Each structure stands twice: as structure tokens, then as C-alpha cells.
Amino acid sequence: MIRVARFVAAFILLALAGCEAQGANPRRSTDASPTGSPAASSSPVASPSPEPAPSSTEIAVDPAPASAPGVLRVGQAGTQLATAPRGGPAGRLRAGVMVPFSAVDNGWARITTPCELTKWMPVDSGVRVVRPAVVLDPGHGGDEAGATGPTGLAEKEVNLDVATRAAAMLNARGIPALLTRTSDYRASLPFRVALADASGTDLMISVHHNADPDGPLDKPGSETYYQFRSPGSKRLAGLVYEEVLRDLSKLPVGWVGDTDAGAKWRLNTSGGDYYGILRRSGEKGVTTVLAELAFVSNPAEEAILRQNDVRQLEAEGIARAVERYRSTKDPGSGFTTPYPRTAPAGPGGGTRGCVDPT
């Protein structure tokens, strides 16, 4: 529910799914050079085969050759995978999947799959996307549904739709936005962070919808969690909260929420950020916010979350918050001191039972 010498470190983390990451590193101002295996080379990626130009609502393709690291979008025919450059078949990935790559060897890119497997794919079976201004992360996916509404609306579905709408708006406005998950499949937390890190972004918003409120509220129970030691994350959380609250408050709904609804933090027993997406991205220098936009577990909110216009409202709020974060010094609002929480967050985000999208 809530539920890239440096790039190597990211992939070590990927191999240790579920382990706690150690130490923070400052965010690079330019893409770092890759460190690969002896068989790998940091030679430029060959120019990809021509693809239809993306619509104005899709993140643009980088037409120039570029060195690793970066992010590839799998092309319309999907792609074969191999365990080594020009090696035998080792599975496939479906069209549209975004994957981080860390090295290139004679037209093959070393990638990490959504289930954290290290594979190689032909560079010309995908396209490199431009460096995004923001990464939007639709929470959950695949057999991890997240919260479920009383009549069966799955959080994962709403998260993906809202994040996709927000990314389309931002791309149409000239603010490149990238999705960590482009359809309904599993993607581990380390994968999501590795993709954001490889993309070169400095901003990420993880989109969620909530469950288990404290009770009724006279306003939307939207809440945003920020990285405790990041002023930028706090400001972004305040802006997302402010914008989403503004739009949802126009709706005549019996709202629910927690008594400390707003922009806040949660720490673990070691004093670090509790939520893995915030902690791991912070260690990579990516300013990140986790947004719980509404309560899908509330019958009244589940009903409106089935409506396209309401999902559009949430997406517009996210897009406006990103625009304001990048173009103004607005501080945001809704900051609150959270009450102590001891209940663990919902399960998921690892690789146990994970199946890559084929």
C-alpha cells in the first residue's frame, strides 16, 4: 500500500534484495562513467533502429549515441534477453518496459529487469529515453495489488493510471517524465530506485492510494511522506499535498483519513527513513516523495476513484506540484508532526515469486 566508480553500488544492492542500504552519496551533476565486467565496454550505444516518433505525451527518445548508464524503453516488438552479449536466449521483455542499463558491449546492453535479474538485450531492440526531469513511480503491480477497495478496485490500477496521466501532462508541457512501471507487472523497490538513478533524474514521486484510516475527516485524508533530512523532499511533499488537496476538496465525498493527515515523515528504529523507496532513493541523491492520494478502502472514495475525471484531478495535482517545484520557491503546506507508528507497512517490493513481464 505505502506501501549509476557509484552505479556499481546500485547493482550490488539489486543483488541483495531486501537488505538495508548503507550510507548516502551526493547526487551527480552529470552522468557518471560505468564500471562493467571485463567483457563489457563503455563504448557508445549504437544508434537505435528507427521507431515511430513518440507522441507529445510520451517521454522523448534521445537520438544521439550515448554511453551507459541510462534507461532503455523496450521497442514495439519486445526484446529477447541473453545471459551474455550475443548469448543464447534467456527470456524476453514485453514492449514498453523501461529498464536501466549499466554497460554496452558490441550492440548489447547490460540491463536489470524489473525482478532484478541481470541480463543483456540488443540495443537496437529498444530506444534510450532522454534524461527525465522527474520519475513517477506507480506503486505495486502484478500480483502485488496493494490496497483493495470494498468492491475490488485494486490500488495498483489507480496508481498506474494516475501516474500515467501525470507523466503525459508533464511531457506535453515540455517537462520530461518517466514511469518506473508502464503496465501491470511486478517491479521491486531496488529496481525502481536503480531505474531512477540510471536515468539521471533528481526527482521522484511514488504514487499510492491508502487504506486503514483512523476515521472520518471533514476533508480529504491525503498524505505525503518525505525524506526526513531532505529540505527538497519536504518542500515537494508540501506542494503535492497542497495541490491534490485543493482539487479533491471540491468533491462532495464522505472523506476518511488519519488524524495526522498532511505532509510528514516516518523513521525506522535506526533513525533513517522508514519507507524503502524514500530511504534507498535518498542514498542515491534522488529527492523523493511517497504520496498517498486518497483511501481506496473507503467505499465513497473507491467509488470516485473509478471515475476518469477524478483520476485526472489527482494527476493534475501531481503535475502542477512538479511544475511549481521546478519553477518557483513555493514552500508547500500541510506539514504535520506524525504520531508514532509501530505497525509495519504492507508487504511487497522484493523479488520473491517475481516474474518479469514477457
> Is the residue at 318 inside a domain?
yes
Last residue within a domain, chosen from 93, 128, 163: 128
* Whether 143 and 98 share a structural domain: no
Pair 38, 175: CB distance under 8 Å: no
CATH number for the domain including 227? 3.40.630.40
* Whether 246 and 192 share a structural domain: yes
Domain that holds residue 49: 38-128
Return d(Cα 219, Cα 252) in angstroms, integer.
Answer: 10
Pair 291, 162: CB distance under 8 Å: no
CATH number for the domain including 46? 2.30.30.40
DSSP string, 70-97: EEEEE-TT-EEEESSTT--EEEEE-TT-
* Whether 262 and 140 share a structural domain: yes
* Whether 115 and 170 share a structural domain: no
Last residue within a domain, chosen from 128, 160, 181: 128
> Is the residue at 28 inside a domain?
no
* Whether 110 and 202 share a structural domain: no
* Whether 189 and 138 share a structural domain: yes
> Is the residue at 88 inside a domain?
yes
* pLDDT per position as a tens digit, 92-120: 999 999 999 999 998 999 999 999 999 99
Give pTM, 2 decimals: 0.85
* pLDDT per position as a tens digit, 1-59: 544 333 334 333 333 333 333 333 333 333 222 333 333 333 333 333 343 334 457 88
> Total domain count for the chain?
2
* pLDDT per position as a tens digit, 210-233: 999 999 999 999 999 999 999 999
Closest CA to 134 of 179, 165, 168: 179
